[in-house]
Structure 1
Amino acid sequence: MSDAADAQPQAGPVFFDRRELDQILRVYGRMVASGEWRDYAIVGHRDVAEFAVFRRSGDAPAYRIEKRPALRLRQGQWAVIGEGGVVLRRGRELAQVLRVFDSRRFTVVE
């Protein structure tokens, strides 16, 4: 006997495609050139892909750029998350979400 769940193909981890990674790495390169960021890590999980940036190696990530395809029809699959888990920007288009790094040195206002 076969279970219905067994008939479904297992999806692999979520990851960035080449265009998405190119956009993210452009922002990363600009921030490295300005001296704000020094390291990054890329992780692909079952439901989320994450690009984490660090001010110093070994620290907690300063920012995380997340791709969650399950949210693409709701609030958008892209998010920039700051220290402490604060969502700085969320949206459906990566370029729009990455604009949070363009304008200014930003701080979270409470």
Structure 2
Amino acid sequence: MLRVVPPAGGPAPQAPERVAFQRRELSAILGVYGRFVAAGEWRDYGIDMLRDVAVFSIFRRSAEHPIYRVEKRPKLAAKQGQYSVIGMDGRILKRGHDLAQVLRVFDAKLIRAVDD
């Protein structure tokens, strides 16, 4: 197999134009979202794919500010972890390398929502 190497001083590899959630990531997020919709807590969501972050915003009603944001920031993958859940007030509720572990922050909230 022949490997082509760009000349020294050539163009650097391009970063992706935007960050997006992969299918398995969206499946995990939508699984949590569906449970809260069934409990009557959440009603709408939005997805933004920007240059350095992908954001899944969760709304109680469609005309409000998001109550939670699930963010994917690949630049933080080697540091704190690329996934985070951020509350309405901007506080980071959970951050990590494993999306399923980060989404567990919603488990206690779901139990309270079902009990009410």
TM-score, with structure 1 as normaliser = 0.87
Please point out which of 95, 100, 106 is paired with 2:105: 100
Question: Given the superposition, is the C-alpha separation of residues 10 and 87 from structure 1 closer, same or farther in structure 2, using an over 3 Å criterion?
Answer: closer
SS in 1 for 2:89: helix
Question: Given the superposition, is the C-alpha separation of residues 12 and 103 from structure 1 closer, same or farther in structure 2, using an over 3 Å criterion?
Answer: same
Q: Deviations over 1:83-104 (max 9, x none)?
A: 1111000011000000001123
2:79 is equivalent to residue 78 of structure 1:
no
Question: Given the superposition, is the C-alpha separation of residues 69 and 7 from structure 1 closer, same or farther in structure 2, using an over 3 Å criterion?
Answer: closer
SS in 1 for 2:84: strand
Q: How many angstroms apart in 1 are the aligned matches of 2:23 and 2:61? A: 26
SS in 2 for 1:29: helix
Amino acid paired to 2:26: L
Q: CA deviation at 1:74?
A: 0.4
Q: Deviations over 1:14-59 (max 9, x none)?
A: 0000000000000000000001100000000000000000000110
Structure 2: gaps spanning 5 or more residues:
1-8
Q: How many angstroms apart in 1 are the aligned matches of 2:26 and 2:76? A: 19
Q: Equivalent pairs: percent with the same residue?
A: 57
Q: CA deviation at 1:8?
A: 3.5
Alignment length (residue pairs): 103
Amino acid paired to 2:32: V
Question: Given the superposition, is the C-alpha separation of residues 41 and 96 from structure 1 closer, same or farther in structure 2, using an over 3 Å criterion?
Answer: same
Q: How many angstroms apart in 1 are the aligned matches of 2:58 and 2:95? A: 17
* CA RMSD across the alignment: 1.7
